Structure 1
Amino acid sequence: MYSQLAKKAVWLLGLMALSFNIYAGHHGMKKDIVDVAASNDDFSTLVAAVQAAGLVDTLKGEGPFTVFAPTNEAFAKLPDGTVEMLLKPENKDKLVAILTYHVVAGKVMASDVVKLSEAKTVQGGTVMIKVMDGTVMVDNATVTATDIKASNGVIHVIDTVIMPK
């Protein structure tokens, strides 16, 4: 019984830490989009990809940007070896195209996203947006968390890596 209680306490403390991190990001912290993503272990693959693509300085720039950020689990859904292949220097252009397809110029909060049917990405393509039964989809990805504020924009978490057409 004690171990069950201990597990629940650790889980609760972890949840509180995550909540504080998200809450702090909403209330005036000066972290940019890259810093916010780097402070969350769920985005370590995304951060590594942004670094490999040479996009750190861009996403630390003035913005504002809206990033549909895939989690590590989203990257894990890709076929085996895809992430490793994309991180190779010779595939930088392809990686840049994929990552910039996840970025929209401007700060588009969730209340605005749900009013859109599409959005032009920094990559030049267009993502399709639809709301079904309260679930927001960006192309084939489900938005799982919204309005994570950064000093230069906002992050919406998605469960799938979206690919340019």
Structure 2
Amino acid sequence: MKKVMAGIAGMAVAFTFNLAHAADIVDTAKSAGSFNTLVTAVQAAGLVDTLKGPGPFTVFAPTDEAFAKIPKAKLDALLKDKAALTKVLTYHVVPGKVMAADVKPGDVKTVEGSSFKVAAKDGNVMVDKAKVIKTDVAADNGVIHAIDSVIMPK
């Protein structure tokens, strides 16, 4: 009986420890299950360590369905061109942790260096021409807002 109680207590401690450690942007995206292509792209661009860093970051993250809108040959070419891929991915990242309630219309400077336009249209928040479809997916080093299209730097 003592062994069983000790085992249960050990599992409780382990479970509590796992809950106490929140996931970073990359692990949060992986566990969400709808950002597999984005995670693959982040790995191909060599940005994993950056997005696992202290941040904070706000990522306007294209879903797998958003990446599926890009013709396969074009997406495959982008995944092989590290410089172009890095430019596209960092265009989706804004420095700081910006929750949905704090998003304001206007031009927003990205980590890539240029800006995208945030606007409200028909009750939806738009980032360039992508619609924000899910907000405030919290990570320990920032936040993810899911978008329905991949946005491209100008």
Normalising by structure 1, report the TM-score: 0.79
**Are residue 104 (structure 1) and residue 77 (structure 2) matched?**
no
Q: Which amino acid aligns with 1:69?
A: A
Alignment of 1:1-165 (within 5 A): 30-88=22-80, 91-113=81-103, 115-165=104-154
Whichever of the two has the greater Rg, that structure is: 2
Gaps of 5+ in 2: 1-18
Partner of 1:11: none
Gaps of 5+ in 1: 1-26
Pair 53,84 (structure 1): closer, same or farther in 2 beyond 3 Å: same
Runs of at least 4 residues of structure 1 off by over 3 A?
none
User: For residues 66-86 of structure 1, what are the alpha-carbon distances to aligned partners after superposition, in whole Å with 9 as ceiling and x for unaligned?
Assistant: 000000100010123122111
Question: How many residues get paired?
Answer: 136
User: For residues 50-96 of structure 1, what are the alpha-carbon distances to aligned partners after superposition, in whole Å with 9 as ceiling and x for unaligned?
Assistant: 000000000000000000000010001012312211121xx100000
Pair 29,145 (structure 1): closer, same or farther in 2 beyond 3 Å: farther
The percent of aligned pairs where both chains have the same amino acid is 62
